[in-house]
Amino acid sequence: MATADTVARLRSTLGAGGVLTGADAGPFSHDWPHEIAWTPLCVARPADRDGVVEVLRIAREDRVPVVPVGGNTGLSGGTKGEGAIMLSLERMNRIRDIRHDARTMTVEAGVVLQTIREAAAAHDLVFPLTFGAQGSARIGGCLATNAGGSNVVRYGSARALCLGIEVVLASGEVLDLMSSVRKDNTGYDLRDLFIGSEGTLGVITAAVLRLFPRPETYATAMVAAPDLAAALTILNRLQSGTGGQVEAFEYMPRNYIEAWKAHRPETGEPFAQPYDVNLLVEIGASAGADADARLEDLLAAMMDEGLVLDATFARSEAQRRAMWARREAAGELTVLRPHVLLNDVSLPLENVAGFVARILPALREIDPGVDDFLMSHLGDGNVHYNIWPSRGDPALHERLRARMEDLVAEMGGSFSAEHGIGVSKLGAMARRKDQVALDVMRRIRAALDPDGLLNPGKTVPEA
Ligand SMILES: Cc1cc2nc3c(=O)[nH]c(=O)nc-3n(C[C@H](O)[C@H](O)[C@H](O)COP(=O)(O)OP(=O)(O)OC[C@H]3O[C@@H](n4cnc5c(N)ncnc54)[C@H](O)[C@@H]3O)c2cc1C
């Protein structure tokens, strides 16, 4: 049982700065959208892996739950920790090495994603994981959620960017899988088991990451299309026409652009006139290639066919950043209204247009006043389909979510593309996930954490 003594023992093990309580624990007492709040017992901030082992030992002895936390930017309530020790990795923020020729970087779990990206860039390489919260999210959290973002279309999600991992188990044992090989068929793939496990199976303390050659140039444009079916054709033509160099293909509908303009009145329309289907397209090309000219040619040909209605090109890094700023404001724009139901579904590419056309009418049969606010990593079929219900009624919210899940399932999709389950999608897991898969997950969890110490009540619903 948690006692004042637990906090005192943590303090004597980690030092005074290693434990936060009261107001100092404030940033660890709510989720990013401020939808979920809790009161943790304390925040433990070990400076190294041995400190993590010690925190888990004390938690085991005192039977206190432990919630690992990185940047606390997760969007599924995965860090909710009532009465728990919040195990922050923020002090474990060293980049151990960058091996240029091997194209790898070895990092501790608390390194901020943007720091990793900047360190890679300093070596003329790329760590391609990128999204709006990259200035705060930490790599341990990115791996624990198998984060995605805007470059998945070319490089894959966090799982595809990780070669090795180190995990402290609930027992205190250290699982050392810090390999940097690209092929390893030595039994079950435990690395991939921990990636995406949202802190329920172990605490990720370090990782070996894959780095990639940095494109010499980027060609970036805003493109207007008549509809989402045309957008898919544009994507596929660009992939074929560039040999798969599409780095990002992001969709923003009309109400997204309107929300951005209202939020940032000094900015204008992406085009001379308003369009419904607004795409942010980026191509990354190697040395010597004239990426701008190639992108312009491809789009011009599609304009002749009526697939492209309009296009504006970033002619400087400042213009490119402005285009990205619009897209990366998604998080702050989404929470401008209360009671938002955050969703991140994925669909087969050819079904995105059908889903988007059918979903709002289906939801309005349940709640005539409901609105939606979506944006999409369209290149990989991931739609952030956020629902603004007419009122804060939990039963209504659950019906809206269930209706959306129905349509996603009918169209061959997944109810969680990149944000994970946390607490907010436990209902969907219970309703939609294969029951045998759920049972296997429960057995794995019970084997690794028989006392239910790590992030209880998350990810896998109780039987
Ligand atoms: C504005 C904004 C934009 C976003 N855009 C995207 C996007 O495009 N794509 C995307 O995938 N996500 C996105 N997210 C969600 C979020 O940023 C990612 O899920 C991110 O990976 C979380 O990292 P974090 O360090 O903040 O993790 P946290 O929020 O601290 O934790 C998330 C989960 O991981 C667990 N965890 C954290 N660290 C560890 C560890 N070391 N070991 C074990 N478990 C751990 C936690 O217990 C929790 O369950 C966005 C969030 C915001 C606020």
- Ligand 1 atom closest to Cα of residue 138: 25
Q: Please state the separation of Cα 303 from the chain's center in Å.
A: 34
Place of tokens 């942010």: 280
Cβ–ligand 1 contact at 70 (below 6 Å): yes
- Ligand 1 atom closest to Cα of residue 89: 41
pLDDT in tens, 354-377: 999 999 999 999 999 999 999 999
pLDDT exceeds 90 at position 39: yes
**Range 252-284 burial, b when 16+ CB lie within 10 A, else e:** bbeebbebbeeeeeeeeebbeeebebbbbbbbb
Cβ–ligand 1 contact at 32 (below 6 Å): yes
Stretch 3-21: mean pLDDT: 92
CATH fold of 337-416 reads Alpha-Beta Plaits (3.30.70)
The domain made up of 217-325 is a member of CATH 3.40.50.2300: no
**CATH, domain 4-91, list 3.40.920.10, 3.40.50.300, 3.30.43.10, 3.40.50.720:** 3.30.43.10
The domain made up of 95-213 is a member of CATH 3.30.465.10: yes
Cβ–ligand 1 contact at 92 (below 6 Å): no
| pLDDT at residue 134 in the model | 97
Domain boundaries, the chain: 4-91, 95-213, 217-325, 337-416
Cβ–ligand 1 contact at 79 (below 6 Å): yes
Question: How far, in Å, from the CA of 31 to the mean position of ligand 1?
Answer: 11
Cβ–ligand 1 contact at 343 (below 6 Å): no
**Range 106-138 burial, b when 16+ CB lie within 10 A, else e:** bbbbbbbbebbbebbeeeebbbbbbbbbbeebb
Cβ–ligand 1 contact at 68 (below 6 Å): yes
pLDDT exceeds 90 at position 128: yes
Cβ–ligand 1 contact at 138 (below 6 Å): yes
Question: How far, in Å, from the CA of 76 to the mean position of ligand 1?
Answer: 9
Q: Which two tokens stand for residue 445?
A: 């969890």
Q: Which two tokens stand for residue 423?
A: 């607490």
pTM listed for this prediction: 0.95
| pLDDT at residue 403 in the model | 96
Q: How far apart are CA 280 and CA 400, in angstroms?
A: 29
Cβ–ligand 1 contact at 203 (below 6 Å): yes
pLDDT exceeds 70 at position 2: no
Q: How many residues does the chain have?
A: 463
Q: Please state the separation of Cα 218 from the chain's center in Å.
A: 23
Q: How far apart are CA 428 and CA 445, in angstroms?
A: 19
Same fold, 95-213 and 337-416: no
Backbone φ and ψ of 166, nearest 5°: -120, 135
Report the nearest-CA residue for atom 19 of ligand 1. Answer: 74
Q: How far apart are CA 25 and CA 232, in angstroms?
A: 46
Question: What's the start-to-end Cα distance of the chain, in Å?
Answer: 25
Calculate the average pLDDT of the chain: 96
Is residue 331 very low, low, confident or very high in pLDDT (cuts 50, 70, 90)? confident
- Ligand 1 atom closest to Cα of residue 199: 44
Do residues 83 and 65 touch, judged by C-beta distance below 8 A? yes
Q: Using CA of residue 20, residue 457, residue 330, residue 349, what is the dihedral sign?
A: positive
Q: Which amino acid is at 73?
A: T
